[in-house]
Amino acid sequence: MRVEFKQEMIYGIRPLIEAVGAAKEVEKVFIQKGLQRATLKELLALLKERNVPFQFVPPEKLNRISRKNHQGVIAYISPVHFFNITDVIPGVYESGREPFVLVLDRITDVRNFGAILRTAECAGVDAVVIPSKNAAQLNADTVKSSAGAIFKLPVCRSDNLKLTLDFLKESGLKLVAATEKSEADLFSSELSGPLAVIMGSEGDGVSEEYLKRADLKLKIKVQGEIDSLNVSVAAGVILYEVVRQRGLEK
C-alpha cells in the first residue's frame, strides 16, 4: 500500500499562536534558546494551556530543519487528531466490548512506531497511548511505515503516563508490561479481559516507574543467541497472543 504524506510546518510566533488558537493539532514546537519577543510569553502560556510539547533548542537546529525565515520558532502540524484516552475507554465499554489498549513508553524510532501502529490496527487495538515527550515524530516515515494505520487508529497523547496508567487500572484494565526482567512466559499467561499492553524503548525497556504499576510482567522467551526482539516485532507477538486468547473465549 502506497501512502503519500507531506508534513506541514508553521514558522514564527504569531502564525503559531493563531494556529493553536484555531485548534490546529500541533505535534511539537521548537523555540530558539534566548529568543526575545514580546509575544513569546503569550505563546508559551497558550502551549501550556493546550498541552502542546515544546522545546528550547540552539539556532543551528532550527536552521537544519528549515532554511526559511523561521523567526526562531518552528512547529510541526500533526497528521492526525489526538484523542483523549479518558474519552476512548468509556466509549469502548458502552459499545459492549472489552478495551484493548497499547501504551508506548519512549518509542522514538519512527519506523518502529509506524510498524507498531500498523500491527495494532490489524490486531483490533482500541487506542495507542504515547507520551507528549520522548516519542517518535508523526512524520512522513511514520505514515508510510504504518501503511495508513495512523489515520484509522486513535492515538492518545499523555502528559503524564503514570496518571494515564492509573486511570486505565481504575477503569478495570489489567496492565501488562513486556520486559526481559521477568521470568513469566508470555504464552503461559492469561491475557483475557480488559487489557493495556505496555511496550518500552529498545534501549532500556519499560521504565521502572511503569513496571511497578503493571499487574503482569511478561517475557518473550527467545531460542537463539540474541537475547531480545525488535520492539515492533515484540509488540506484534504480544498483541496477537492477546488476539489468539480472545478468540478462544468466543
- Is 140 inside any structural domain? yes
Q: Is the pLDDT of residue 9 over 90?
A: no
Range of the domain at 140: 82-249
In this predicted structure, what is the pLDDT of residue 249?
60
Q: Which of 36-40, 47-51, 197-201 has the highest mean pLDDT?
A: 197-201
165: domain CATH number is 3.40.1280.10
Distance (Å) of CA 234 to CA 124, 128, 177: 17, 16, 12
In this predicted structure, what is the pLDDT of residue 89?
97
Q: Is the pLDDT of residue 237 over 90?
A: yes
Rounded to the nearest 5°, which phi and psi values hold at 100?
A: -135, 105
Q: Return all residues near 94 (Cβ < 8 A) that are at least 6 apart.
A: none
Q: What is the band of 174 on the pLDDT scale with cuts at 50, 70, 90?
A: very high
31: domain CATH number is 3.30.1330.30
pLDDT tens for each residue of 27-46:
889 999 988 888 899 999 99
**Set of cell numbers at residue 62:** 532550527
In this predicted structure, what is the pLDDT of residue 161?
93
Q: Which of 74-78, 175-179, 218-222 has the highest mean pLDDT?
A: 175-179
Q: Is the pLDDT of residue 2 over 50?
A: no
In this predicted structure, what is the pLDDT of residue 91?
95
Domain limit, last residue, from 77, 109, 134? 77
| Residues 186, 64 within the same domain | no
| Residues 229, 167 within the same domain | yes
In this predicted structure, what is the pLDDT of residue 6?
56
| Residues 31, 153 within the same domain | no
Q: What is the band of 7 on the pLDDT scale with cuts at 50, 70, 90?
A: low
| Residues 39, 65 within the same domain | yes
pLDDT tens for each residue of 75-120:
888 777 888 999 999 999 999 999 999 999 999 888 899 999 999 9
Percent of the chain topping pLDDT 90: 42
Q: Are 32 and 56 in contact (CB under 8 A)?
A: yes
- Is 148 inside any structural domain? yes
- Is 104 inside any structural domain? yes
| Residues 97, 216 within the same domain | yes
Distance (Å) of CA 249 to CA 23, 154, 192, 242: 43, 25, 8, 11
| Residues 156, 70 within the same domain | no
What's the per-residue H, E or C state across the chain?
A: CCCCCCCCEEECHHHHHHHHHCCCCEEEEEEECCCCCCCHHHHHHHHHHCCCCEEEECHHHHHHHCCCCCCCEEEEECCCCEECHHHHHHHHHHCCCCCEEEEECCCCCHHHHHHHHHHHHHCCCCEEEEECCCCCCCCHHHHHHCCCHHHCCCEEEECCHHHHHHHHHHCCCEEEEECCCCCCEHHHCCCCCCEEEEECECCCECCHHHHCCCCEEEECCCCCCCCCCCHHHHHHHHHHHHHHHHHHHC
What pTM was estimated for this model as a whole? 0.79
Q: Is the pLDDT of residue 248 over 70?
A: no
When divided into structural domains, the chain yields a total of 2
| Residues 44, 14 within the same domain | yes
- Is 172 inside any structural domain? yes
In this predicted structure, what is the pLDDT of residue 169?
96
pLDDT tens for each residue of 88-97:
999 999 999 9
Q: What is the band of 180 on the pLDDT scale with cuts at 50, 70, 90?
A: confident
| Residues 73, 95 within the same domain | no
Rounded to the nearest 10 degrees, the angle between the axes of helix 13-21 and helix 40-49 is 30
| Residues 126, 245 within the same domain | yes
**Set of cell numbers at residue 219:** 517475557
| Residues 30, 46 within the same domain | yes
